[in-house]
Amino acid sequence: MTHTNHQVVLNIRFKTKPGKKEEFRTALSSLIKEMSVEQSFISAIVSDDLDQPDDLVIYEIWHGTRDSWLQEEFTKPYRKNYEGTLGELIVDRSISWLEPKGEWGSKLTTAQLG
């Protein structure tokens, strides 16, 4: 992905199939290991939803824009393999595309303090 001052955040919620959460977590961890060496990768945080025990949420920060991410990162061969396993492991996935506008307590984004 073109390295720019722009950043994009992907907030993705996965609803895993019953009994498949740990298997999905393993697949997601493998994906993160591969994507974390990409030049445009900044950070990823995986969380369990305390109120929805079958849900996992990942918060990814990347250099670039939604369009550049879709063109350059989503097309990586390792993502195709990962995407191919999702049907066996998850019921649903929802993606929010975010643009950082303020940040407190860390310096992961280029957003100015609000």
Residue 56 has pLDDT above 70, yes or no: yes
Taken in order of first residue, the domains within the chain and their CATH numbers are: 7-98 (3.30.70.100)
Q: How many CB atoms lie within 10 A of CB 78?
A: 12
**With bands split at pLDDT 50, 70 and 90, how would you rate the model's confidence at 110?**
confident
Find the DSSP H helices in the chain.
21-35, 66-72, 77-89
Out of 25-34, 55-64, 79-88, 103-112, which region has the weakest mean confidence (pLDDT)? 103-112
Cα 40 from chain centroid?
13
pLDDT, tens digit, 9 for 90 and up, residues 5-30? 799 999 999 999 999 999 999 999 99
Predicted model pTM: 0.90
Q: How far apart are CA 14 and CA 48, in angstroms?
A: 10
Q: Which two tokens stand for residue 36?
A: 């974390």
Cα 110 from chain centroid?
18
Regarding predicted confidence, which is higher, 11 or 103? 11
